[in-house]
Amino acid sequence: MTTKEEKVEGWIPRTKLGKMISEGNISSIEEIFSEGFKIREPEIVDALLPELQEEVININLVQKQTDAGEKSQFKAIVVVGNRDGYVGLGSGKAQQVRTAIQKGAADARLNITLVRRGCGSWECGCGRHHSLPFQVQGKCGGVQVVLIPGPRGLGVVASEEAKIILDLAGVKDCWTRSYGSTRTIPSFACAVFNALRKTYSFVTPKDWVG
């Protein structure tokens, strides 16, 4: 039998939560959310969600003012998810694209959130978890996004970036509406993520599991 620690190559847990996982005292991501633990090591997410997938949704060159003058850095926006109710969005900056992506992927893991799914479409009523339970909206940096539950078989009616996020979250059928500076991809992605987070803001923590 392999321990959780062996699942993530070279991981030496640095936090109390990380040690609890490597010692087998916590064996599911549900426990982390139901207990309200804060994830401070990206490896925790890999240990508990080994099927996690990641996608880079945007890379930008950003200028930063330093004492030595202007410095160019790449900024990567990365989304991770298990296509079954867990999704995270993160960003990372570095002088090399590859490092920016790695930082963004680690940040996305630390931001992983639980998405409540359901059949909130009045046209459907199948009761399965293929969409969202109700309409949610999210805001970020001048962008507002509304996610509207859709009937089974609809698919995700959204821009490419929103499709990637919703797909990795496990939301199969929904409509989206967006307002504001929606061409600003980092803000747009963040607004979609904030909307997904709201699927759990109307319930108490003890409802999170099961």
Tell me the Cα Rg of the chain: 18
**153 near Zn ion, judged by CB under 5 A:** no
Q: Could you say which DSSP state residue 144 is in?
A: E
Instruction: Select 79 or 132, whichever has its Cβ closest to Zn ion.
Output: 132
**124 near Zn ion, judged by CB under 5 A:** yes
CB of 133 to Zn ion, least distance (A): 10
CB of 158 to Zn ion, least distance (A): 18
Instruction: Select 104 or 150, whichever has its Cβ closest to Zn ion.
Output: 150
For β-strands 53-66 and 69-81, DSSP reports them as: antiparallel
**126 near Zn ion, judged by CB under 5 A:** yes
Of 67-75, 148-156, 182-190, 197-205, which segment contacts Zn ion by CB under 5 A? 148-156
Residue count at the site for Zn ion (CB under 5 A)? 4
Residue window 44-73: x/- pattern of binding to Zn ion, with contact defined by CB under 5 A = ------------------------------
Instruction: Select 119 or 143, whichever has its Cβ closest to Zn ion.
Output: 119
Residue of 26, 170, 47, 52 whose CA lies nearest to 105: 52
Distances (CA, A) of 99 to 16, 28, 92, 103: 27, 29, 8, 6
What proportions of the chain, in percent to the nearest 5, are helix, strand and coil? Answer: 30, 30, 40
CB of 173 to Zn ion, least distance (A): 7
CB atoms within 10 A of CB 84: 14
**119 near Zn ion, judged by CB under 5 A:** yes
- Evaluate whether 45 touches 80 at the Cβ level (below 8 Å): yes
Residue of 105, 45, 47, 40 whose CA lies nearest to 76: 105
CB of 130 to Zn ion, least distance (A): 6
**21 near Zn ion, judged by CB under 5 A:** no
Binding site for Zn ion (CB under 5 A): 119, 124, 126, 152
